[in-house]
Every structure is written in C-alpha cells, then in structure tokens.
Amino acid sequence: MSTITEVKQRISQAYQENCVNSEVAPNKALIRFLEEPEAEKETFNLIFRGNHKLNFSSRLCDEDVILLSAAVEPYAEYVSHVDFSYNLISDTGINSLARLLSAIPNLESINLQGNQIEIDGAKVLAEHIKDKNTVEYINLNLNNIQTDGVLQIVLVLFNNKALRELHLADNKIDHDGISGIMSVLGWHNNTLEVLNVDNANYTSIGQEIAIHIAKMLQTNRGLEKLSLRKHALNSEGLYTITEHLLDNNKLRVLDLSCNKLTYKGCEHLGKFILSDNCVLESLNLANNRTGHYGAKAMALALSKNKTLMHLDMTTNDIDDDGL
C-alpha cells in the first residue's frame, strides 16, 4: 500500500509531465507543497491558499488547476479536503476542478473563497457536487456567482443532508437569491448549521427580504449560526424577524453588524432575548445606530437573560450614560 508521501510525489511528477506536454511553466510553489513529506495516514488535504506568504506570488491560475486536476484524479481516493482559497481560478478552471471534486469519494470540504468564479462556474460546480453526500463544508465567499449561480448552489441544499456549513458572502446575490436560500432552509433542509450570506446586493428595498428570513427562522430547526452583515436592514425589518424568532429555540449565533438598526431594533431584540425559547449565545450589533436608548433596551434584556455570553455593540454612538 502506498504512503501519502509517495502518492503526493506521483501527483507532483504527473503534474510536471502535464506541464511539459502542454508547454506551460510549472508552478514551483505547488510542486513544493506536493513534495512535502506527510505523516502516516490514509488521506491528505489538497490545500494551496493563495494568501499564504509562500504562495502569494504563485497563486493558482486556470492552467495550473486544469493540469493539477488531471494529475490528482487517479489518486482521488486519497483526498478528503480541498482548499484553493484566494487564487485566480475562473469559470475556465472550475470545469476541471469540478470533475475532480465529483471523483473524490470521501470529499468532506470545499473552500474556493476569494477566486473569480462567476455564474457559469457556479452552475458547473453545483452540478458536480449536488449528490456528494459526504461534503460538510462549502465556502464560496468573495466570488461573483450572483443570484443565477446561487440558485444552482441551492440545489445542493435539496440533495445534501450532510452539509453543515455554507458560506456565500460577497457574491452580488440579490433579493431572489436570498429568498431562494431561505425558502429551501424553511421547508426542505433542517441539517445546515451555519449560513453566511453577508453583503447582499439588493436593488429593491432591503426590508422586503426580512419576511423571507423570518419565515425560515420560524420553521427551520437546524440552523445554529446566521450571519446577515451588510443587508441594509432597519429596525422595522428586524421587528419582522424577531417576531418569528420567538418560535425558534435553535439559533445560537446571530450577526447583524453593519446594518441600519436603531434603538427600536434593540427593543425588538430585547423582547426575543427575554423569551423562553431564546438560546442565543452570541449577538453582534457592531456598526449600527443604536445609541443611548439602544444600550438601555439591551441592558434591560441582559438583566434577565441567562444564555447570552457574547455581545458586540462596537461603534454604535453609545454615550457614557448608555454604557
């Protein structure tokens, strides 16, 4: 039986041969990673982060990914995690990578954060991984998959009951994309535990999405962490959400930072925090507009709440009396 070190060396050799045949200069940083010795174990993690200090000037481009994917595929059974975050992978490279991901029998996580994946790439990726019921973690933050792309990723939530974390922040997702995600989580998926949809791109009034988020939280019984940073959410929209949250006894972490919440939003949150169903442990309200009266509303709620362990109200114009 081959050791992991031997497998990686074979992959390195195959990759370099593919480069020669394609008349492409090999990525020396990638070769260095492939030729690093591994401890004795059954699988290895295919990790090449473009923001690492040793890889910063040697980020993976599409040609690297295409040639590497062909080299890795015969040894797909040895891979469990793939992390190509902060590289230069576009829709051209994602086609080959998606085929590799579908060939990995025990794939557990996919991290493609900070690349150049767009709508077509997201569709190809979703098609290849929608039936991969071993995948527990997907991170597509900081790409450009937009609503058409995210609606394809939503298909993964229909089919994959093993998925625990999904990160889709900073992808220019509009109202239809967010409502699509919330609809699936409200009616079809109760196994996802962490969802990040920060910085949505609404062309309509942002508060229209609040009812979709609210209805999801009312019926979903799996989600434990929800991040809604930069949704232009105001206190009226938060009222809708908190009224439905009164029926939720699962959510433990809620990030509402960088919105437009005033002291009225704190009053609505206070009602939820004081409810019998509240199990919230962490609440982030940083960079809102809560002010003195928001601090007062939260203080009243905190005096009786027994679950909250972390509260962030940084940059909210809270004066000395509020503190």
276, 304 Cβ separation under 8 angstroms: no
- Cα–Cα dist 55/176, whole Å: 37
At a CB cut-off of 8 Å and minimum separation 6, what does 306 contact? none
Pick from 81, 214, 203: nearest CA to 146? 203
| Among 71-75, 137-141, 186-190, the least confident range | 186-190
pLDDT of residue 35: 93
Pick from 187, 177, 236: nearest CA to 211? 236
Nearest 10 degrees: CA dihedral of 254, 258, 262, 268?
-10
pLDDT digits (tens, 9 = 90+) for 21-74: 999 999 999 999 999 988 888 899 999 999 999 999 999 999 999 999 999 999
pTM of the model: 0.95
- Cα–Cα dist 13/35, whole Å: 9
Pairing of β 165-167 and β 137-139: parallel
Q: What is the DSSP letter of 154?
A: H
Pick from 35, 37, 17: nearest CA to 26? 17
pLDDT digits (tens, 9 = 90+) for 191-245: 999 999 999 998 765 578 999 999 999 999 999 999 999 999 999 999 999 999 9
pLDDT at residue 2 is higher than 80:
no
> What is the average pLDDT across 152-165?
91
